[in-house]
A and B are shown apart, each in its own frame.
Chain A
Amino acid sequence: GAVVSQHPSRVICKSGTSVKIECRSLDFQATTMFWYRQFPKQSLMLMATSNEGSKATYEQGVEKDKFLINHASLTLSTLTVTSAHPEDSSFYICSASRLRGPPTDTQYFGPGTRLTVL
């Protein structure tokens, strides 16, 4: 089946530093990738949608300059949390959709990355 990996699985950083999280589709080409954020005991909140080779579309309230998304290839998307602060601590999850055009119901999810900002 389709597998999506995320790296790292956990990261701890100091306030003010930047952190990059990678999302890879291991055995398929992902034309669309989604980035979610999940707070404890809360739902997944979509942050942005990225299509290969184009700029990401951010959800309302998500700071584009804070959360930089790059989808430079069909198998890799990165989320960079710039100048991280403790309030950015969260669980970040990516998903990938394999087909261009109307999305199928098959959005494949990565296992998530736990970010802790001290």
Chain B
Amino acid sequence: GDSVTQMEGPVTLSEEAFLTINCTYTATGYPSLFWYVQYPGEGLQLLLKATKADDKGSNKGFEATYRKETTSFHLEKGSVQVSDSAVYFCALRLQGGTSYGKLTFGQGTILTVHP
């Protein structure tokens, strides 16, 4: 079945450090890929997305590129801030079919950024 695997956390970084959170996926079709972020006490928010191979999603300094050849969608940010501390979820959604709108999530990665 479809699945998403994220790197194990938690990840702890100093402010201005470079961030990478790895995400790989297994899917039977051609999925859309997403990164969601969950700040403490809040619901998940869409951070960025990519809908086809080689697309790059970006938002708030975060980037991720849809790599079909490696089935990956790694999240990166060049310089993290304390306010980036949150839980990050990688997810996929198949295009069409009976699973309309269904998101398959990775297990989440806790990021803590220290001043």
- Contact surface of A with B, Cβ cutoff 8 Å: 4, 32, 34, 41-46, 49, 93, 95, 97, 102-103, 105-112
Contact = CB atoms under 8 A, between A and B. Distances in A.
A97 B101 contact: yes
Contacts of B41: 111
Interface stretch (B11-19, B42-50, B61-69, B70-78): B42-50
Size category of the binding interface on chain B: 20 to 34
Interface centre among B42, B51, B103, B108 (most CB of A within 10 A): B103
Interface in B71-115: 89, 93, 96, 100-108
Contacts of A4: 43
B34 A105 contact: yes
A49 B101 contact: yes
Contacts of A45: 105
A68 to B, nearest CB: 20
A42 B102 contact: no
Contacts of A44: 44, 89, 103, 105
Contact of A111 (B43, B51, B101): B43
Interface in B4-52: 4, 32, 34, 36, 38, 41-46, 49, 51
Given A34-B102, A43-B108, A107-B46, 12 more contacts: A42-B107, A43-B107, A44-B103, A46-B102, A49-B100, A103-B100, A103-B101, A107-B101, A109-B38, A109-B44, A111-B41, A111-B43
Contacts of B101: 32, 34, 49, 97, 103, 107
A43 B89 CA distance: 8
| Minimum-distance CB pairs A-B, first 3 | A103-B101, A109-B43, A109-B44
Nearest to A97: B101
B42 A43 contact: no
23 contacts: A32-B100, A32-B101, A34-B101, A34-B102, A41-B108, A43-B89, A43-B105, A43-B108, A44-B103, A49-B100, A49-B101, A93-B43, A95-B43, A102-B96, A102-B100, A105-B32, A105-B34, A105-B46, A106-B46, A108-B43, A109-B36, A109-B43, A111-B43
